[in-house]
Structure 1
């Protein structure tokens, strides 16, 4: 019996050692992969764009390694979108030209020869949309490193915003129906500050939920910090600068209670709330405004500068969604309640009153300056850029 137990113990140790050796051998085995996971291409004009594709091995191999490239399909795009919370469309493979589907990593070398990949017909891309093209690496000589066997090309056609609305005691009132309750919510806007004041209104309902710059009651009297205020409030400590474009956003996800302030697509401050809902249509202080709180008893708190791409949502947008859509968004996006591009082409007159057209299909046309006058539109020398 003792001999049998010794034998079994010896076998278990042998299996364990062999397993360890296999794991070590697997780690040391040369594999092919892409060094870069993503590469962004901006289609600024109609000219084709070429990128030099290059793969490598994890360690030098004693023989030449043949590498094959193939364009992955919609499933790879779908998996990427699900993993990162994005909504990229698949770039049309017919508009992609690979210099060759096959390349070689020479014996004893690390990198492959460079293979050109050309993106064409870029003039047919829709402005503001982003597309994804996954390219997969394979080799008959060596295995590929899982997770690094695909490089994702993000192809974008940047939005060129050159006309924006000037706010200098101007405002828009959003016609939310009485009793409109928001559980989850997102505020978004592109802003350019010309002058700091006290409580410079970006958007919202005073006393309920308002996004603003420069509450001098903040620690140190900072009039260059962004704040969400109302029945709940908190702020970021990042100082804003005059003469510079920013994308700002606020989100509240009621089921989780998580709330955040974003600056240029990155989280700048966060908190946790227990508020079941917000009555953003409340008329206690006049309703929901963009630019200033008209006729507010304690001061109208105007914003001084320019704005564009102002949006109100009934959902809490994710960080990726915010970052991906700072300069434009699909007007038919789920949860988009009101959308004002503020480029001048969206202003109109009706029954002797001035309005700003809601770009969403919800008919939330905003009343400009109480209906008395249109907003002043500024034409920029260079398009809006977020850095």
Structure 2
């Protein structure tokens, strides 16, 4: 008896499921709406620059007169009519952003900026408006190392178009900084120096070096566990300054001259991702001494180092073994040993810089200083693939592919009292 009752329940359940499925197909067959160009959810407009974060840094060096930021209005999906959108600066948001930032920044005075337009249209069937440029000027009138806020928000959108609250505003932190504010990304990129090729008339300045100092300011965004080496600069299997090696910690600095590697692996000497460091190494071929510095402080030292032969950085024609910044061994498109981060203030000296000299001049140095043979500030910024050699020797560095210059850079000055 129980078995028959169980069978009836199963049949009844099966019948119910069949009815639900049939109803679903019936409804679907009646709904001829095309969702390929439209979402079933309410449409809304937002600012493209605020899609991920609604706070952005506009930081620039203390001699920069002008600058710009760009925004546009974006729809979640195309509308069936033109959508008019207007932008405004909203002073009432200053207290909100100060509370979030834990500061008391003043609002940027209107005399320092203007909009190319504050009213845009997102055309019917499209999702993007024209680009709006916020132009900044007279920036050297701002106090150094003082931040100001500029909250730009969507004032209104035409019709009954909704505004996405979480991304309706982009608040710029505007800062004229005494620090370095420009660096180039080496992620999937690197720089070569044509003037260092063996047949170049300007290669002599880095040849026959009995003393050598390498310097750079770097920030590694990620030490990839699959990448054994993150190259700073030099020549593979000859004279190379880098992070990591086979069987060596990926986060530790290493210098290798003629494949003699220094220092030994040491877990206490690991550098951290996301932090700016000034790194340097000195090598005296005569005394056979090499010293490594981090933020102007001695990290490692070795005596009886190397084979005593002078260093020739301008020794190779194009190929695997040439001087590069951010790349070492491999085909030109092989990025397995690139540095996933940013770099600036790259220098080569034909003298041994003392600990005091390195510490005092980590963030800037006079290009005419005795012994400085190559100096790339990497302060060119957006749109530049050629980086100037500030020594006047003409050995400019050239990007392998289009250079990326990240926004919001501000290198902290660790040698300030």
Q: TM-score range by the shorter chain?
A: 0.5 to 0.7
How far did residue 276 of structure 1 move? Answer: 2.1
Assess if the C-alpha contact under 8 Å between 1:182 and 1:314 holds in 2.
Answer: yes
Question: C-alpha distance in 1, partners of 2:410/2:380?
Answer: 17
Query: What's the TM-score once normalised by structure 1's chain length?
Result: 0.53
- The alpha carbon displacement at 1:269 in A equals 0.8
Q: How does 1:27-66 map to 2 (within 5 A)?
A: none
Q: For residues 159 and 329 of structure 1, do their structure 2 counterparts lie closer, same or farther at Cα, with a shift above 3 Å needed?
A: farther
Alpha-carbon distance in structure 1 between the residues aligned to 2:185 and 2:395: 20
2:215 to 163, 188, 192: 188
Correspondence list, 1:238-387, <5 A = 238-272=269-303, 273=305, 274-283=307-316, 285-293=320-328, 295-296=330-331, 300-345=336-381, 348=384, 354-369=385-400, 373-380=401-408, 382-386=410-414
1:213 counterpart = 2:213: no
1:347, 1:356 within 8 Å by CA — same for their partners in 2?
Answer: no
What's the CA shift string for 1:232-266, capped at 9, x where partnerless?
21126301101101010010123322211111111
| Separation in 2, partners of 1:331, 1:223 | 32
Within 2, Cα distance between the matches of 1:333 and 1:201? Answer: 26
How far the C-alpha of 1:386 sits from its partner, in A, is 3.3
Cα drift, residue 299 of structure 1: 6.9
TM-score by length of 2: 0.49
Q: Please list the CA deviations of residues 21-80 of structure 1 after superposition, one character each: whole Å capped at 9, or x if unmatched.
A: xxxxxxxxxxxxxxxxxxxxxxx99xxxxxxxxxxxxxxxxxxxxxxxxxxxxxxxxxxx
- Over aligned residues, Cα RMSD in angstroms? 2.8
Question: Secondary structure in 2 aligned to 1:315?
Answer: coil
CA distance in 1, matches of 2:382, 2:292: 28
Residue 31 of structure 1 is matched in structure 2 by none
- CA separation of 1:300 and 1:381: change in aligned 2, threshold 3 A: closer
Ranges in structure 2 where 5+ consecutive residues have no aligned partner: 1-60, 63-139, 145-176, 199-203
In the alignment, the residues of structure 2 paired with residue 379 and residue 311 of structure 1 have an alpha-carbon distance, to the nearest angstrom, of 23
1:316 Cα shift? 1.3
Output aligned runs, 1:82-97, within 5 Å: none
Q: Which residue of 1 aligns with 2:188?
A: 169
Shift of 1:286: 3.2
Classify the secondary structure of the residue corresponding to 2:405: strand
Name the residue aligned to 2:22.
none
1:224-243 → structure 2 map (5 Å cutoff): 224-231=251-258, 232-235=260-263, 237=266, 238-243=269-274
How far off its partner does 1:339 sit?
0.8
